[in-house]
Amino acid sequence: MNQDRRPTVEAPADARAASAAWIVLPTYNERENLPVVVAAIHRALPEAKILVVDDGSPDGTGRLADELASTDPLLEVMHRTEKNGLGAAYRAGFAHVLGDAERPIVVQMDCDLSHDPNDLPRLIHALAVGADLAIGSRYVPGGSIPDWDIRRRLISRGGSLFARTVLGLRVRDLTGGFKAWRAPVLKRAMAGARYAQGYGFQVEMTWRAIRSGATVTELPIVFRDRVAGESKMSGAIVIEAMLMVLRLRLDAWRGRV
């Protein structure tokens, strides 16, 4: 297993690799942010395709996504009828795009502008130079979360430290959701993932990728707080993630993974 491999990755993405990418964008009440994010992704990766996975947003995000897709051949929309967790939205989106053999790179990112689309070429280039999974990391040198107060920093860092310690991993930002995957590695991780529906999904997927032998690299990112809309984080999501980590450790001890 190869963890925490950090080559110097500053070059722009290889043009062929960039055009072979899907960007999976889960949304729930992101009407204000969606047009900005889609436009920024197109500027960063003009040939990549975007899949919006909307969980029945009551603010009309799904309808707006359809309007954008009607004039944008690189944008597709998946409508889900209810909000039942970030993990479930990603599973549905991944299952859709993994059927596209012509685009063997899959990127996941938030739609709240916390993840800067300008970082997309660096993540994809990391795959071009040997990584199987590239993580936009807040907690490696050069990464930062300038808008967070001390409480949110402690919760986030504490969650990553807890997961790293229990699961025996060296990846520093296990709870982050800005990732570029090689499709075969994503398929292997998806095949075993079964626990987390919320943000713990990020931890489980990285853990399963590493267990499958994937080479993982972390690239520093500046993680900005959302400009519009409300955070989806809650105490229940934090507890779910912690319990999921313990289940994964127990499964490993019992030889179930």
Helix (H) or strand (E) holding 49: strand 49-54
Up-side HSE of residue 185: CA atoms within 13 Å toward CB? Answer: 27
pLDDT tens digits, residue range 155-183? 888 888 898 999 999 999 998 999 999 99
Domain containing residue 46: CATH number: 3.90.550.10
Distance of CA 219 to the CA centre of its chain: 13
Q: How many Å apart are CA 155 and CA 237, to the nearest integer?
A: 12
Q: Give the model's pLDDT for residue 11.
A: 42
* 2 falls within a domain: no
**Cβ count within 10 A of residue 16:** 9
pLDDT tens digits, residue range 21-70? 999 999 999 999 999 999 999 999 999 999 999 999 999 999 999 999 99
- What average pLDDT does the segment 89-99 reach? 94
Q: Give the model's pLDDT for residue 229.
A: 47
103-107, 151-155, 214-218, 220-224, range with the lowest pLDDT = 151-155
Q: How many domains does the chain have?
A: 1
Amino acid occupying residue 211: R
* 10 falls within a domain: no
CB 51 within 8 A of CB 96: yes
Tell me which residue range forms the domain holding 214: 15-253
* 32 falls within a domain: yes
Q: Give the model's pLDDT for residue 150.
A: 87
* 4 falls within a domain: no
Beta bridge pairs of residue 133: 181, 216
Q: Give the model's pLDDT for residue 3.
A: 59
